[in-house]
Amino acid sequence: MPRSDLHLLLILLGYLVLAGALLWSLLRLRQLKTALRNCPAVPPPNPEQPPAAPPRPSGETGDFAESLQQAGLRQRLQSRPDWRQPPEKYRYAAALADQGMDAEKIAEVLQFPPEAAQQLIALKQAGRRAVEDETNRQAKETAATGRQAE
């Protein structure tokens, strides 16, 4: 068998293997699409919403189960979960503002507009004033009544 016929045969064999692989991948893609159409649609989790409470088993009744579920919900609401944390760049901006850095330098370091840095500093100061006002109000209430405010 001459050498050119061997090359032609190898090229033809390569094309047949390629065509087989392409046909197999198309059939597999069709199977996956069919399986996907048959699957029920599940919405993606929303990071803004806390996860729903797990369903209660049908045999579980009574006040204890309800109070336990309410306690778990109360604990989740009172704790500060990750999805309620401000974005990392805003936490960095607040930390830099606490160190005495001005808005222009914060904006330069964190690479966002100076107006945004000024607004973050103003919000941080307003939050600090609100906490101080609440603390002062509770201290006055405690002094006036002689007992701890709830």
CA dihedral 81, 86, 92, 97 (to 10 degrees): -120
In the predicted structure, residue 28 carries a pLDDT above the cut 90: yes
- Check residue 83 and give its pLDDT: 59
- Check residue 125 and give its pLDDT: 84
Q: Nearest to residue 103, comparing CAs of 126, 125, 120? A: 120
In the predicted structure, residue 104 carries a pLDDT above the cut 60: yes
Model confidence over 62-80: pLDDT tens digits?
Answer: 677 778 778 877 776 666 5
- Check residue 141 and give its pLDDT: 83
**Prediction pTM value:** 0.39
In the chain, % of residues over pLDDT 70? 75
CB count within 10 Å of CB 107 equals 19
How many Å from the N-terminal Cα to the C-terminal Cα in the chain?
98
Q: What is the arithmetic mean of pLDDT over 33-45? A: 76
- Check residue 128 and give its pLDDT: 83
Q: What is the arithmetic mean of pLDDT over 100-128? A: 86
In the chain, % of residues over pLDDT 90? 17
Pairwise pLDDT comparison (3 vs 61), residue with the higher score: 3
Q: What is the arithmetic mean of pLDDT over 10-31? A: 95
Burial 91-100 (b: 16+ CB within 10 A, else e): eebbebbeee
**Residue pair 93/110 in contact by the 8 Å Cβ criterion:** yes
In the predicted structure, residue 132 carries a pLDDT above the cut 50: yes
Q: Nearest to residue 86, comparing CAs of 51, 131, 64, 116? A: 116
Check residue 52 and report its DSSP letter. P
